[in-house]
Copies of this chain bind each other. A is one copy, B any other.
Amino acid sequence: MKYKKLGDNILYNGSQIKPFWAFQELKLKGSSIVSWIGPMKIEPEELIDYEDVNHEIKSDEMIHFIIEHFDIQPADIKTCYHRQRMFVMIVKDTLCEFGIKTMRKGDDIYFKGKKLSVSISTCSNSSMKIHFGMNVTNRGTPEDIETIGLLECSNDFDYEKIDVCIDKICKSYIYEIRSIEEDITKTKVF
């Protein structure tokens, strides 16, 4: 599984959740996790979550993670949501190590009751995709819900720490997936 951190300030508009985005746009072949910092504004036609219809999904500055898995064929949405949960738990755990204690509910992370993140999973027949976005600040987020950004969670947190934090999250996730693969090869089944 490859990890690539993009330097550009790319808009997450929902198109990146499509299968093969990493290969088509970044020439990144195979299972991968891509991360960058940039705004979010999801086009209605790119919505994956039917419950999000008629809601604005936007933020001026977020850390984005796009994950794609090809290891399970056919891909299925159930396994994908298991991995999404594992990823979100790793995010929560990593933030905690940086002194930011959050609360998780399903695939959402909250700080003092304020929404810090958005996430969705989807799949095609051949790959599983996960998007996880976490506000850096709450600027440009929807007005109908209380939101917060990482920089507002802690005075201690800055872009340098964000950068370290992103690396740690991605490497932990990659390690987790690989360690599961390894555990299978030592386990008796009935």
Contact = CB atoms under 8 A, between A and B. Distances in A.
Nearest to A190: B124
A155 interface: no
State the main secondary structure of chain A at its contact with B: mixed
Given A23-B50, A71-B71, A126-B187, 17 more contacts: A30-B182, A30-B185, A73-B79, A73-B184, A75-B125, A77-B125, A77-B187, A81-B183, A82-B82, A85-B180, A86-B86, A89-B90, A96-B96, A106-B176, A123-B189, A123-B190, A125-B190
A101 to B, nearest CB: 8
Given A77-B125, A89-B86, A188 B48 contact: yes
Interface of A: 18-20, 23-24, 29-31, 47-51, 70-79, 81-83, 85-86, 89-90, 92-93, 96, 104, 106-107, 120-126, 176, 179-190
Contacts of A188: 20, 47-50, 122
B76 A76 contact: no
Contacts of A124: 125, 189-190
The 6 closest A-B pairs by CB, nearest first: A73-B78, A124-B190, A74-B76, A89-B89, A73-B76, A82-B82
A1 to B, nearest CB: 11
A124 to B, nearest CB: 4
